[in-house]
C-alpha cells in the first residue's frame, strides 16, 4: 500500500482519535514548540510489520517528525529491541502515539503468528496462506503482514480469482456444472479453484479443469490420498480447523497450500511501547 492509498485510511484513524477538539491533554500540558524524541520498543519477541503506516501516522500529524528505522518489516526483534526512533515536535509524537501503535502492534502480531506457522512447516512443500477473514478496511495491510511473517497471500477479494465454494456448487447443481459456468464467465487471466468436501468429488474437480482444489476439513489420511491421486496436476489447498498442533502433520501430507483464518481473525497484538526519554 503506497502512501497514496494508505493516507486516506490513516487520516480517518487519526480523525477518529482526535475528533473536532483535538488532543486536549497534550495541548494543555505540552508547549506548542517543544521538541523531543521517542523510541518504539518491543516488549516481547516477535516479527515486526507495519513500520510504514506507523511512521506515516506521525508524518500526517506533523511533517516535521523524522524517523530512523532500526529494523525493516519482517525482522525478528527481541524484548527491549528498538524498532524506530522518532524525533521532532513532541505534540505530534504524543498525539499520534496510540493510533500508530494500534497499527504496529496488530500487524506485528499477525506477522509473528504467521512466522510461527511457517517455522512449524519448514522443510515441507507447504505454503502458509491467509484468507479473507481480515479486518474491514485493513486487508492490504494485514496481507502484507502475512508476507512479512513468511506466509503467502490467497486471493485479495471476490474479484481477483474464482473460488467455487460448497454453496456455489449446490446452487449450480454440482462441481462440474459450477466450474464450467466459472470458465465461461471468467477471463483467461483468472484462476479457478474449487472447494470439495469429500474425496469423492476429487475426480470431478480434476475433470472440470480447475487450477487448484481446496480440501475442506479433510482428515490427514484423506489429504494424503488426495495428494497421491492428484500427483501434481493441480495445486492442493488444505483448510479448516488448522492450528499449531496439527499444522505440521497436515504439511507432511504433501499439500501445497495451508490456509489459516486465525492468522487475521484472531490476532494477539505484539506488545510494543513508545518510550519517551525525558531529559
Within residues 167-186, the interface with a second copy by CB under 8 A covers 167-172, 178, 181-182, 184-186
> For residue 42, which of 279, 272, 226 has the smallest C-alpha distance?
272
Which residue of 69, 70, 191, 248 would you call a contact of a second copy, by CB under 8 A?
191
Catalytic, out of 165, 228, 229, 233: 165
98 as an active site residue: the answer is: yes
**At residue 246, what are phi and psi to the nearest 5 degrees?**
-110, 0
Q: Using CA atoms, how far apart are residues 252 and 158, in angstroms rounded to an integer?
A: 30
Q: Is 256 in the site for a second copy (CB under 8 A)?
A: yes
Q: Is 206 in the site for a second copy (CB under 8 A)?
A: no
- What's the DSSP call for residue 236? E
Read out DSSP for 112-180?
Answer: HHHHHHHHHTTTSSPEEE--S---TT-HHHHHHHHHHTT-B---SSTTSSEEE-HHHHHHHTSHHHHHH
Smallest separation, CB 77 to a second copy (Å): 18
Q: Is 213 in the site for a second copy (CB under 8 A)?
A: no
268 as an active site residue: the answer is: no
Smallest separation, CB 162 to a second copy (Å): 5
C-alpha cell read off for 143: 496481507
Q: Which residue has the cell 515486526?
A: 48
Q: Is 67 in the site for a second copy (CB under 8 A)?
A: no
195 as an active site residue: the answer is: yes
Which residue of 33, 110, 266, 273 would you call a contact of a second copy, by CB under 8 A?
266
Angle at 82 between CA 78 and CA 84, to 5 degrees: 135
User: Closest CB to a second copy among 4 and 200?
Assistant: 4
Q: Which residue has the cell 519448514?
A: 122
Q: Which residue has the cell 511501547?
A: 273
User: Closest CB to a second copy among 148 and 154?
Assistant: 154
229 as an active site residue: the answer is: no
Catalytic, out of 7, 166, 216, 252: 216
By rule CB under 8 A, what count of residues binds a second copy?
100
200 as an active site residue: the answer is: no
Is residue 54 a contact partner of residue 272, using CB atoms and an 8 Å limit?
no
Catalytic, out of 98, 183, 191, 224: 98
Q: List the interface residues with a second copy, window 82-101 (CB under 8 A).
A: 90, 94-95, 98-99, 101
Q: List the interface residues with a second copy, window 12-51 (CB under 8 A).
A: 12-30, 34, 36
Question: For strand 66-69 and strand 82-89, is the pairing parallel, antiparallel, or unpaired?
Answer: antiparallel
Q: Is 105 in the site for a second copy (CB under 8 A)?
A: yes
Read out DSSP for 33-49?
Answer: T-EEEEEEEESS-EE--
Q: Is 60 in the site for a second copy (CB under 8 A)?
A: yes
Q: Is 232 in the site for a second copy (CB under 8 A)?
A: no
Q: Is 208 in the site for a second copy (CB under 8 A)?
A: no
**Element spanning 105, H or E:** helix 90-120
Q: Is 155 in the site for a second copy (CB under 8 A)?
A: yes
Q: List the interface residues with a second copy, window 113-142 (CB under 8 A).
A: 127, 129, 132-140
**Coil/strand/helix, residue 22:** coil
Q: Which residues are catalytic?
A: 98, 133, 165, 195, 216
Amino acid at each position: 500500500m503506497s502512501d497514496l492509498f494508505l493516507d486516506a485510511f490513516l487520516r480517518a484513524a487519526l480523525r477518529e482519535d482526535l475528533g473536532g477538539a483535538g488532543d486536549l491533554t497534550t495541548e494543555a500540558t505540552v508547549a506548542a514548540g517543544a521538541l523531543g524524541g521517542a523510541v518504539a520498543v518491543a516488549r516481547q519477541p516477535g516479527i515486526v510489520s507495519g513500520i510504514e503506516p506507523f511512521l506515516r501516522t506521525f508524518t500526517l500529524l506533523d511533517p516535521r517528525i523524522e524517523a530512523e528505522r532500526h529494523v525493516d518489516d519482517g525482522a525478528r526483534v527481541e524484548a527491549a529491541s528498538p524498532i524506530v526512533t522518532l524525533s521532532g515536535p513532541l505534540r505530534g509524537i504524543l498525539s499520534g502515539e496510540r493510533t500508530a501503535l494500534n497499527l504496529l502492534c496488530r500487524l506485528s502480531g499477525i506477522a509473528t503468528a504467521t512466522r510461527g506457522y511457517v517455522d512449524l512447516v519448514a522443510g515441507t512443500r507447504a505454503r502458509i496462506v491467509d484468507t479473507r477473514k481480515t479486518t474491514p478496511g485493513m486487508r492490504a495491510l494485514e496481507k502484507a503482514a502475512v508476507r512479512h511473517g513468511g506466509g503467502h497471500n490467497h486471493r485479495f477479494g471476490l474479484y481477483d480469482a474464482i473460488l467455487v465454494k460448497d454453496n456455489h456448487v449446490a446452487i449450480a447443481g454440482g462441481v462440474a456444472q459450477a466450474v464450467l459456468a466459472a470458465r465461461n464467465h471468467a477471463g483467461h487471466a483468472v484462476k479457478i479453484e474449487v472447494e470439495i468436501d469429500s474425496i469423492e468429488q476429487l475426480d470431478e474437480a480434476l475433470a472440470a479443469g480447475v487450477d487448484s482444489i481446496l480440501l475442506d476439513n479433510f482428515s490427514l489420511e484423506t489429504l494424503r490420498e488426495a495428494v497421491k491421486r492428484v500427483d501434481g496436476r493441480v495445486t492442493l489447498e488444505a483448510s479448516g480447523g488448522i492450528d499449531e498442533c496439527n499444522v505440521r502433520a497436515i504439511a507432511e501430507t504433501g499439500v501445497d497450500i495451508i490456509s489459516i483464518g486465525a492468522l487475521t481473525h484472531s490476532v494477539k497484538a505484539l506488545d510494543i511501547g513508545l518510550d519517551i526519554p525525558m531529559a
